[in-house]
Amino acid sequence: MTATVDPLLALSLFEAVRAVDMPSGEYDAEYVHELRNKRFGLSDTVSSQIRRFNEAVRRNQQTPFDEAVALATLVGRRPDAEAVFREGGRILARRAYEMISPLTRRLMLSLPSLLSRPIALRRARRITRRYTGGAVRRVGATLLLEVAHSVTLHAAPRLSGCTYYESMLHELMQLLGGNVGPVDHVRCAGRGEGVCQWRAEWRPVGPGAR
């Protein structure tokens, strides 16, 4: 069976390219037509792919793993690849969080930490399993994300593609509630360590925090 990934992963990379290439300020806006010819993220190709993957997300049509890797490799050729991967991770986290029911989101933010954190952790596990093929577990006051088959592992020099998952974990846990410290890439398959692992401190905030 051909390996696949959730289409939201590919969509997040295309949306990140568009977001990073989007002009800012009045000066750039005056030259938007010229910028469309220079910035890939503003091209018709990217717009078409964003529409395509939005439809795939709506239909829950899986994306071949190799196609996602090819997309990540394309991103990795950019001089600002790390910024695009970081933005892509944040987009993936936000889009996945938006799919959680509003009631559950309110509960995670309003309940005492003793009750809300187990809910948040369960959601984090479901989201990372579905969208990254990874697994999250709690180790004391820290969270550990492990991804055995990274789409972005060899996408860019100096393993900067791994920042995609780093950024996703940080953004997701912030959204789910809690104070998330810096995310450390503690193991990397690119360094011959078998799998990629990221670790972050996750402390409660709000009612009942301790």
Q: Is the pLDDT of residue 1 over 50?
A: no
Q: What is the DSSP string of 165-176?
A: HHHHHHHHHHHH
Whole-number percent of the chain with pLDDT over 70: 88
pTM: 0.89
The mean pLDDT value of the chain amounts to 90
> How do residues 121-136 score in pLDDT, each as one tens digit?
999 999 999 999 999 9
pLDDT at res. 56: 97
CB 121 within 8 A of CB 136: yes
Q: What is the mean predicted confidence (pLDDT) over 93-110?
A: 94
What is the pLDDT, as a whole number, of residue 34? 54
Residue 200 in this model has a pLDDT that exceeds 90: yes
